[in-house]
Chains A and B, each alone.
Chain A
Amino acid sequence: MRKEWPLWEVFVRTRNGLAHKHAGSVHAADARMALEAARDTYTRRMEGVSLWVVPSASITASDPSEAAALFEPAADKVYRHPTFYSIPDGVKNI
């Protein structure tokens, strides 16, 4: 018999209008318990307005050993970064 409860990934939306962000993980027997554990673990100091929990097993991750093939080619393609525009002074966030 498996001793530990399955792992769940927790996503917290800190304010309305923002996206849910990964906050960490909890162990729980099912989704309901995971939500409660997430509430207790990650929103104790009023950090959130909404919570998602996802079984960690449902996440398909990229293989770290392929990182070079996946991500590095982007590094020397400066033309993919919008760095050649001059930004008007009034614009704060871009």
Chain B
Amino acid sequence: MDSVFDHAIRLGDDALILGQRLSEWCGHAPMLEVDLALANIALDLTGQATLFLALAAEEEGRGRDADALAFRRDVLDFRNCLIVEQPNGDFAQTIARQFLFSNWQELLLAEIAEAPAPALAAIAAKAVKEVRYHVRYASEWVVRLGDGTQESRGRMSDGLDWMWRFVEELFDAVDGAASLRPAWEARIAATLRAAGLERPRPMRPILGGRKGHHSEHLGHLLCEMQFLQRTYPGATW
């Protein structure tokens, strides 16, 4: 049976790493409006990470706080799923990642919000409203790109293909998520239908993030994210 700490650290790491990834778009998005939207989503996720990691630190009771968990933990100790650490790629690949992940995250948080662990439930209830918007934003773009030009359609399809191998891990027995699968599949299918896109072909899933077996991408992400606290431990401003 997983403890509150286990749940909180997984939820916190998912949000932290995806928030960091999305913020890489800041100043680089195709339009100012898109730049702002992605930065907003990144900030939502960073806010969720702060709450979940603070709870994890409290549960752990070893004198660490949310910042210590975020900035002074090594790559093998991170428990995020692999999809959130995948590179941004082009805009369509970023949208594919957001679309697949946010749909899962919304279903999961809605369930946790009703669950008997009050501290987790309170954070989930707050976060689920934000994630509902992330789903809406990403789904709109899946339809726009999929139902757009030949170029945008090809890119959207490639983006989904790239991210699809990390879907299985989301439902891999963690947090009781397996029961969310039918609802998730129905949402994904409805949006893909509206976009005129095919469901990617089944592929060999890649697992391991929840055990700390990460892709090489996470180490590079942490280098950048943790640099300041590693170089100047305890620095504040």
Contact = CB atoms under 8 A, between A and B. Distances in A.
Is A bound to B?
yes
Interface of A: 5, 26-29, 32-33, 36-37, 40-41, 44
B37 A40 contact: yes
A54 B74 CA distance: 50
Given A36-B37, A36-B137, A40-B37, A29 B144 contact: yes
A35 B202 CA distance: 36
A17 B40 CA distance: 28
Interface string B122-155: 0000000000000011001000100000000000
Contacts of B37: 36-37, 40
B32 interface: yes
25 contacts: A5-B31, A26-B33, A27-B31, A27-B32, A27-B33, A28-B33, A29-B144, A32-B140, A33-B140, A33-B144, A36-B37, A36-B136, A36-B137, A36-B140, A37-B33, A37-B36, A37-B37, A40-B33, A40-B36, A40-B37, A40-B40, A41-B33, A41-B36, A44-B36, A44-B40
Interface of B: 31-33, 36-37, 40, 136-137, 140, 144
A17 to B, nearest CB: 24
Contacts of A40: 33, 36-37, 40
A33 B137 CA distance: 9
A16 B140 CA distance: 28
Contacts of B144: 29, 33
Nearest to B34: A37
Closest 4 CB pairs of A and B: A37-B33, A40-B37, A40-B36, A40-B40
A5 B144 CA distance: 14
Contacts of B36: 37, 40-41, 44
Q: Identify the interface centre among B32, B36, B136: most chain A CB within 10 Å of its CB.
A: B36
Q: Identify the interface centre among A26, A29, A40: most chain B CB within 10 Å of its CB.
A: A40
